[in-house]
Amino acid sequence: MLALSACSGDKAADEPVVDTEAPVVVVEEPVVVVEEPAPAEEAVPVVETPEAPADDVAVVEVEAGAEPEVLAADAGEQLYNTQCMACHQNGLLNAPKLGDKEAWAPRIAKGKDTLHMHSAKGFNQMPAQASADVSEAKVYAAVDYMIAAAS
């Protein structure tokens, strides 16, 4: 270490000299990440419920929050016979005929949800079937009946 003093009197000898040309070393502290444990999940008890015979009722899924409408097992066939047959028996307005696998295949490929929506709300030449007298659940059951006949 070298200390030089200039004309400043006694003060210069008392102040430490800093070497500005010396290499600077930066020391970084390692970062420690502490993970908190995830909250324990509550166990949901499994409750077994007896299954209803398939030929007694048909349950159609509806929007969240609404009670599902319980329909008779033949509700789809009943609605087909009273409302859908007029077009789907003879192919009126380009309606696919009941049981015609070739005509139904491209429609079935679009998915059941799409067919449900188109039949309930209407699409192209298909008039909306859901009304004050016919619930969407009944329309969906009729669509499911026609899909089953073509599958």
Q: Please, are residues 112 and 143 in contact by the beta-carbon 8 Å criterion?
A: yes
What pLDDT does residue 136 have?
93
Q: Is 20 a domain residue?
A: no
Q: Is 87 a domain residue?
A: yes
User: Does the pTM of the predicted model rise above 0.85?
Assistant: no
Amino acid of residue 102: E
Residue 84 or 16, more confident: 84
What pLDDT does residue 101 have?
96
Q: Is 38 a domain residue?
A: no
Show the domain range for 91.
57-150
Tokens of 83: 């409302």
Tokens of 71: 């329909």
Q: Is 41 a domain residue?
A: no
Instruction: Count the domains in the chain.
Output: 1
Contact residues for 118 (Cβ-Cβ < 8 A; gap 6+): 126
- Residues 47-103 have pLDDT tens digits of 676 665 555 555 555 556 667 778 888 999 999 999 999 999 999 999 999 999 999
